[in-house]
Amino acid sequence: MATTPEGRKSSLTNLRVEPGYKRVAAAIEEQILNGQMTAGEVLPTETELSEILGVHRSTVREGIRALENAGLVQRGAGKRLRVSVPEMSAVSSVVTRALGMKQVSFFELWEMQMQLEPFAAKLAAERIDPKIAQALQDNVTALRQNLYDDDFVIQNDIEFHQLIAQAAKNPVLSMSTAPIGALLFSATVNLYSQVNQARHRLLAAHEFILAAIVEKDIKAAETWMTRHIKDFQRGYAMSGVDFHAPIPLDPRALRFVEWGSF
């Protein structure tokens, strides 16, 4: 509670007025999020927005820049601004960085994996289409052929789980699992050199999971994925790494979520 110069108590507080460009960005964002402006729709020009909102063009320009950085608008043909949907890769990249800066541990990621991955496998077995089924088969074949290339094994493992999330046909699930995969890449860079049998167990698990999903055996897909994630935790324990220590974010992991591959 504030105090007046005369010493009286007052419930009044300082007014915090947002900068003009933030108010511009917020006004346009509100119309996008409530559906009044839809993806692909052309925005008014800077001059028109300046007149509509009653602010200077430079203020509009700064507000538009903030919306571009957020992925809510982008410039199309003729440099006209259009409403856009933020790319999932951009969102995943921001979340991955945030989790890295939060210094999340392997145990925290593993807890989420235990919930998300069996669920993803279950949905994949229900919904997989031939194109993703072939991509999964190619992925497991490539793993079998490159089993002693540690970098390849780690990247292949992340791709395997990403393909399962895609097969589940749930964008919320895909967006949730991508940052976890990127951080687990960082967590497993030394796993296979320290626990050599882990690579063989990984291949066997992927083969069983693949077979269950392709055969649309929902229960088996969920069961094998649960076993796989539990086994991953055991391999991590055998490597001697502290479950609760922060995972240092490997820069290569960011390339994975931003570009979809290493």
Q: What is the CATH number for 50?
A: 1.10.10.10
Q: Is residue 13 part of a domain?
A: no
Residue 260 has pLDDT above 80, yes or no: no
Residue 4 lies in a domain: no
Note if the pTM is more than 0.85. no
CA–CA gap between residue 128 and residue 123 (Å, rounded):
8
Residues 197, 96 within the same domain: yes
- Compute the average pLDDT of residues 223-230: 95
For residue 32, being part of any structural domain is answered with yes
Give the tens place of pLDDT for each residue, 64-87: 999 988 888 998 777 889 998 877
* Radius of gyration for the alpha carbons in the chain, expressed in angstroms and rounded: 24
Q: Is residue 7 part of a domain?
A: no
Residue 221 has pLDDT above 80, yes or no: yes
Beta bridge partners of 81: 75
Same domain, 72 and 114: no
Q: Across-strand partners of 9?
A: 3
Q: How many domains does the chain have?
A: 2
127 in a domain, yes or no? yes
Cβ(10)–Cβ(3) under 8 Å?
A: yes
Please tell me whether residues 78 and 177 are part of one structural domain: no
Res. 222: pLDDT tops 90: yes
- Mean pLDDT confidence for 32-51: 91
Q: Which of 48-57, 135-144, 192-201, 224-233 holds the top average pLDDT?
A: 135-144
- pLDDT of 101 reads 82
Distance in angstroms (rounded) separating the CA atoms of residues 235 and 253: 21
**Which of residues 83, 100, 116 is at a domain's end?**
83
Identify the residue with better confidence: 172 or 126. 126
Domain span holding position 46: 20-83
Asked which of 59, 83, 107 is the last residue of a domain, the reply is 83
Mean pLDDT over residues 148-170, rounded? 91
Q: What pLDDT, in 10s, does the model give residues 91-105?
A: 777 777 888 788 888
**Same domain, yes or no: 96 and 71:** no
For range 188-216, the mean pLDDT: 90
- Is residue 78 a part of any domain in this protein? yes
Q: Looking at the structure, do residues 96 and 184 belong to the same domain, yes or no?
A: yes
pLDDT at 24 exceeding the cut of 60: yes
For the CA atoms of 28, 32, 38, 44, what is the dihedral angle to 10 degrees? 0
Q: Which residue in this structure is represented by tokens 């895909």? A: 174
- The mean per-residue pLDDT over the stretch 182-193 comes to 76
> What is the per-residue burial (b if ≥16 Cβ within 10 Å, else e) of 112-148?
ebbebbbbbbbbbbeebeeebbebbeebbeebeeebe
Decide which of 187 and 223 is more confident.
223
